[in-house]
Structure 1
């Protein structure tokens, strides 16, 4: 079995890939999960992964998949990427931005909720124009 890294770009169908494919077919301890804004008991953030690696020097040999909201560049600074198959899913950037805006609106505890609630039909175009053009490319190693 090849070792697999899935760079999960938010609002690009990644939860389905994570839940229905990667985790479903991986035994316990074989998937290393990295989610910056959704830490759970067995989820790591880049900061806690750095701490884990400082204490353990490397990932457990049982780990066959890494998934999460982390950029290629950030992950490549933490682990040796040789020997890993790496993939991601991208989406039309406008559709992705609107989907993310709606997600922030319906999730009252999301850190962007108050900002998202201020975007109106009249200000949507300005909102979309103000976004960094690298919405998806930052996850894939773009600047």
Structure 2
């Protein structure tokens, strides 16, 4: 579709940094807007640039929620990468705990994983984060400025039917981190890339917590708190990456 804007929703800890390297392989710098990497980019500047007919931007990437297309007024298609919710929560915990610059680091550094998932103040990260990010476009104006991580109001409870409708209607392709190699070819086909993507492994934490070392009650609690994300993840795997869904 002519003048289509590709929008990559970079959900934290889903391999998005590696995918951004792939984006750089397939688009010239003047056609890319990395919202979360360039301090000069803001939502206001992004919307202004994407609306400008003289600009060359073809793809944007950032820790942003579904809905930005409503402010741009161009044909669009979304892409994103999901991760199994249990692995995602553990990875977010490891990331925050190992990053002194993260806004939650002072609150998390001395806490166990079980304490992290048990405290309500961390529900942004520990309860259906992926469904929140992919949820109702109408809540987008209420999001604060996007800084180190996606800013999603804790009170937002995602409508799962609406999330799945967004994915069916407005996403060209949805990857899953656990099948990263498999999702690159569908990404290429959906976005019309002329050559096969290279496989990168960026921002990999060598000291991450192994799932095998996590207590069963902690895993069960993460599962209970992420029932919507588990349903969402299962639906995507079934539709895009299983022999039954193909």
* TM-score for the superposition, normalised by structure 2: 0.47
Residues 83 and 125 of structure 1: is their aligned pair in 2 closer, same or farther, counting only changes over 3 Å? closer
Please give the per-residue CA displacement for 1:56-93, whole angstroms capped at 9, x wherever unaligned: 682453111111110012x134322x522211111111
Q: Is 1:5–1:67's contact at 8 Å kept on the other side of the alignment?
A: yes
Once residues 105 and 34 of structure 2 are traced to their aligned partners in structure 1, the CA distance between those partners, rounded to angstroms, is 25
Query: 2:86 aligns to what?
Result: 94
RMSD, aligned CA: 2.7
Q: Of residues 135, 142, 153 in structure 2, which corresponds to 1:141? A: 135
- Aligned to 1:88, the other structure's residue is in SS state strand
2:39 paired with 1:40:
yes
Aligned length: 132
Unmatched 5+ stretches in structure 2: 137-157, 159-246
> Which secondary structure does the structure 2 equivalent of 1:72 belong to?
coil
- How far apart in 2 are the matches of 1:122 and 1:24? 40
Q: What SS class does the counterpart of residue 109 from structure 2 fall into?
A: helix
Greater RCO structure (CA 8 Å; 6+ sep):
1
**More helix per residue: 1 or 2?**
2
Structure 2 Cα separation of the partners of residues 57 and 3 of structure 1: 8
Query: Does residue 60 of structure 2 align to residue 66 of structure 1?
Result: yes
Measure, in 1, the Cα distance between the counterparts of 2:50 and 2:59.
Answer: 18
Check conservation: 2:108, 2:116, Cα contact below 8 A: no
TM-aligned CA deviation for residue 131 of structure 1: 2.1
3-state SS, counterpart of residue 89 of structure 1: strand
- Paired with 2:64 and 2:78, the residues of 1 have a C-alpha distance of 12
Distance 1:114 1:47, change over 3 A: farther
- Please state how far the C-alpha of 1:47 moved relative to its aligned partner: 4.6
Is the contact between residue 14 and residue 81 of structure 2 (CA under 8 Å) also seen in structure 1? yes
CA–CA distance in structure 2, aligned partners of residues 18 and 8 of structure 1: 9
Q: Distance in 2 between matches of 1:57 and 1:48?
A: 9
Aligned to 1:8: 10
TM-score (norm 1): 0.75
Determine which structure has more spread, i.e. the larger CA radius of gyration: 2
* Residues in 1 aligned to 2:113 and 2:92: alpha-carbon distance in whole angstroms: 15
Specify every segment of 5 or more residues in structure 1 that has no aligned partner in the other structure, as ranges.
none
